[in-house]
């Protein structure tokens, strides 16, 4: 089966990079608006050089830029589409585990901006899909009713105090929401805006080393 046909069967164009060793975790890399399946591969190497990498491309186009779900305006999400796309992505992870042979119980998401938001939505709408998550520049994607139970699920949130797209209160609201669900949330701040910083990546990598694979 060709790579293109395999992608079609799984539903997402994506990159798959096997891990080094049988016990490696799988990093689910989720890009921001305008990115693709290649964008965060270097980030994955920095976070955990031994991990397998599953990096899908978002299927929604906004002015030609890939995203993982639609939005109505800046910071205003199409919640019906968000819910549908979140379940679609969770199903993709399960199908990719069967196709590529990785343990679906050892998947940690690492997403930036739009990718972080759909990773947070996966935690909230499909608990059990992710072993943990690194959410970089996220906001609250949705508040499900009832809230899921995420006892002990490790979550790292990295954010900029000067982020004009995601005010600090939005970051704190997400941390509080996940904490109410029982997740173990670590919040790390940098002094910049809506971007990744080297110190933030190093902090996330150190945090990840403390999470059992």
Any idea which residues carry the catalytic annotation? 113, 163, 194
Rounded Cα distance, 57 and 88, in Å: 13
128 exposed, middle or buried (CB, 10 Å; 0-12, 13-18, 19+)? Answer: middle
Cis omega before residue 163 (within 30°)?
Answer: no
Question: Are the CB atoms for 110 and 28 separated by under 8 Å?
Answer: yes
Q: Which helix (H) or strand (E) holds 57?
A: none
Structure tokens at 199: 């110190």
CA dihedral sign of residues 81, 124, 138, 135: negative
Whether the CB-CB separation of 27 and 44 falls below 8 Å is answered with yes
């Amino acid at each position: 089966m060709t790579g293109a046909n395999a992608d079609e069967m799984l539903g997402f164009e994506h990159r798959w990079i096997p891990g080094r060793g049988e016990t490696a975790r799988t990093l689910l890399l989720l890009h921001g608006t305008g990115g693709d399946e290649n964008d965060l591969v270097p980030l994955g190497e920095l976070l955990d050089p031994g991990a397998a990498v599953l990096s899908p491309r978002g299927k929604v186009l906004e002015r030609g830029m890939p995203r993982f779900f639609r939005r109505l305006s800046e910071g205003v999400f199409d919640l019906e589409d968000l819910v549908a796309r979140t379940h679609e992505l969770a199903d993709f992870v399960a199908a990719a585990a069967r196709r590529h042979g990785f343990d679906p119980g050892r998947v940690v998401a690492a997403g930036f901006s739009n990718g972080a938001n759909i990773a947070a939505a996966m935690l909230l709408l499909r608990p059990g899909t992710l072993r943990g998550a690194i959410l970089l520049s996220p906001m609250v994607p949705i508040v499900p009713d009832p809230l899921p139970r995420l006892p002990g699920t490790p979550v790292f949130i990295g954010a900029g105090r000067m982020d004009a797209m995601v005010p600090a209160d939005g970051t704190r609201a997400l941390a509080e929401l996940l904490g109410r669900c029982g997740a173990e949330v670590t919040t790390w701040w940098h002094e910049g805006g809506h971007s990744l910083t080297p110190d933030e990546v190093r902090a996330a990598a150190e945090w990840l080393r403390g999470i059992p694979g």
